[in-house]
Amino acid sequence: MSAAGPRPPRVALLSFRQPFADALLDGRKRHEFRRGTAGFAPGDLLLVYEIAPVSRVIGVARVGRVHRGSGPELAGIEEHPDLSDLTADYLGDAPAAVALQLDAVHRLPDPVPLAALGLDRPPRSYRWLPRETSWPAAVRDGLAALREERWTSE
């Protein structure tokens, strides 16, 4: 934390494939894993982009905690039994990786194409979006919903 206080949350667009996208938005997956030393921090917001054939932003999420370590160190965090082998394979022997512990998710009622965000192609992994991005109503409403949403035990 700097003398000026904590930085405002940033928004990142993350690309997801199935079965990870639905598991995340259904609440079965509480962590998102990325190889490398990504600069995520608690409070950052994520736009969940499902790759082709959907090719749309289908949800939003908020980062609660960030775990950093090697791929083998973080692979054991995956709590979803159907995804643990896929996660371990993805992280492999990466010397650096992050596990984003999500504290809220929200599925958008109307998926949003990238063009509505002023983008022509999805990121390979993730991309930080400028603060001055003009958010489509569905994304703006989804981000606002995260302020009140928390995980629930159902």
Sequence-ordered alpha helix ranges (H) in the chain: 20-25, 71-75, 84-91, 137-146
- The verdict on residue 26 lying in a domain is yes
Domain count of the chain? Answer: 1
- The verdict on residue 29 lying in a domain is yes
- The verdict on residue 4 lying in a domain is no
Domain CATH code at residue 53: 2.30.130.30
Cβ atoms of 55 and 18 closer than 8 Å: no
Note down pLDDT in tens along the chain; length 154 residues.
Answer: 555 667 788 999 999 998 889 999 998 889 999 998 889 999 999 999 999 999 999 999 999 999 999 999 998 888 777 788 888 998 999 999 999 999 999 999 999 999 999 999 999 999 999 988 889 999 999 988 887 765 533 3
- The verdict on residue 1 lying in a domain is no
- The verdict on residue 5 lying in a domain is no
- The verdict on residue 6 lying in a domain is no
Could you tell me the pTM of the whole model?
0.86
- The verdict on residue 153 lying in a domain is no
Domain that holds residue 107: 11-146
